Each structure stands twice: as C-alpha cells, then as structure tokens.
Amino acid sequence: MSNMGQLQNLVFQLKFTGKQFAKNSTKCEKDEKKEQAKCKKAMEKSQMDVAKIHAENAIRKKNEGVNFLKLSAKMDAVTSRLDTAIKMGQVTKAMGCVVKGFDKVLNGMNPEQVSQLMD
C-alpha cells in the first residue's frame, strides 16, 4: 500500500474513532440524566445515602461525557490536519507534473519567436 493510501486509511480510522467518542459522550449524558432521576426519587423517599450514591454516579457520568467530547474534538482536529497534509501532497505532486510539462514546452520553443509574438 502506498504512503498516501496509508495516510487516507489513518484519516478514516481517526474519523471513526472521533465519532465513537461523540457517541460515548451522548450515552454518558443519557446515563447522567438517569442517575439524576434516581437521585431525585431517592431524595423524595428520604433515602439520602442512596441519593448521594446516585448523585456521585451522575457527576462521574457528566465528567466522562465531557472528557469523551474533548477527545472527539481533538480527533477531529488531528483528522483535519492530516486531511490538509494529504491534499497539499497531492497538489505538490500535480504541480511537479505541470512544471515538467512546462520544461518540455519551453525547450521546444524558440525564445526569440516567443518574444516577437508577445510584442
């Protein structure tokens, strides 16, 4: 597999991982809301020890969700940079071909004739 192919595969894997982190973040948000509801029910039943446990779980889930969201954003940033690098490499390769083509054309032309045509 070529170097470009490996980079494109890496970009795909990073995008996939970033999406997984985003999904995990939303899952943690849902879990946090469930734990908050359990905490509220326990408080209504005057079970403060149980409510405290559910509150701690809710806080932990919230922190997990935020961390997953941060990781997702970092993955997106890395993916974007790699995408830009791949595109720049493709442009550089294309420009190299164009310059070689110009060299062939310029070698086949007489500069005096070109200057006469330009005047």
pLDDT for the residue numbered 90: 86
pLDDT for the residue numbered 94: 85
pLDDT for the residue numbered 98: 76
Encode the chain in three state secondary structure.
CCHHHHHHHHHHHHHHHHHHHHHHHHHHHHHHHHHHHHHHHHHHCCCHHHHHHHHHHHHHHHHHHHHHHHHHHHHHHHHHHHHHHHHHHHHHHHHHHHHHHHHHHHHHCCHHHHHHHHC
CA distance 88 to 82: 10
Q: What does pLDDT average to in each consecutive run of 10 residues of the chain (119 residues)?
A: 79 93 96 96 94 96 96 94 89 82 72 67
Statement: the pTM of the whole predicted model exceeds 0.75:
no
pLDDT for the residue numbered 4: 77
pLDDT for the residue numbered 118: 65
pLDDT for the residue numbered 104: 72
